[in-house]
Structure 1
Amino acid sequence: MHRFFKRKDPGPEVQSIGDVRVEEFDFSQLPEDPGVRTPICEYNVNINDQVRRVYLQKVPYQPSGYEFPKRKFEVSQCRRFNPSWFNEFGDWLEYSVEKDTAYFLYCYLFKTTKGNQAGGEAFVNEGFTNWKCKDRLNIHVGQHDNEHHKVRMNCET
């Protein structure tokens, strides 16, 4: 009778991420530079939270001692990323050395698919490069009930 009721070991659950098996996924190989990161939604659903935790355990990618390159905005004006913004937006502002763009860590990790986030794609996928308009960062952060604050609350939760 026991042979009919004996539970079989299903073995380890194996899912795949592209051509990599989840059980073989090396979280230590996640890129630090936000400009080369894979969007969270492209990871296997079963490891999304683990990927988020790895990034939250690290500090935001903010290179120090780096010579930020200048970009031409108008015929005679050159601007570059201002590293003092790290002090003002320190716990979530990141900079990509690879792409010379700025990103928001919380928005990358928990961005909703709604699209009503002010400048959302610029701060998550494409990167922010308008160095002469710091007010765009403040507009994105906005009021206490906007998408940026919702993703920050998701992060803290």
Structure 2
Amino acid sequence: MNKNWRIRRRIPELDDLYLLTLIKENLGHYPSSYGLTDEKIIDLLNKYTEVFLLMSKAGSRVGFLAWTEKAKVMLLELCVLEPRYQGKGIATYFMKKVESRARRGGFSSIRFYVDRNNERAQRLYQRFGYTVKRINWLTHTILMEKRM
């Protein structure tokens, strides 16, 4: 698997249109994303500590990861794969990379919010060992966590 995939940092002028399209097409139907404009999405991407593009060996973008680091907690902001690449073990590969980064960085845990209606993502993260920490009924999200 690792010979077929690589990670590179976001290049705004090259990647932002792709990221906007990917986010809106894959997450736009969830209640937690209602009201997000292109400008707000770009503003959020600019505030994250890291935004990495997930790339095929041939150089095609297949998705991205973004996180914020706060007080030794890594907050995974977004992990989005193009639908045609889902279910192929790619998310597992990249989540292992994120967890390795968190351990090397001395983080106590990785946390993220998943939309309450995104049961597929919830099951995926539970398989990785993440547990539900809190449910926010107002924002339609579930906070999940894995201790490092």
TM-score by structure 1 length? 0.28
Q: Flag the structure with larger Rg.
A: 1
Q: Normalising to structure 2: TM-score of the pair?
A: 0.29
In proportion to residue count, which structure has more strand? Answer: 2
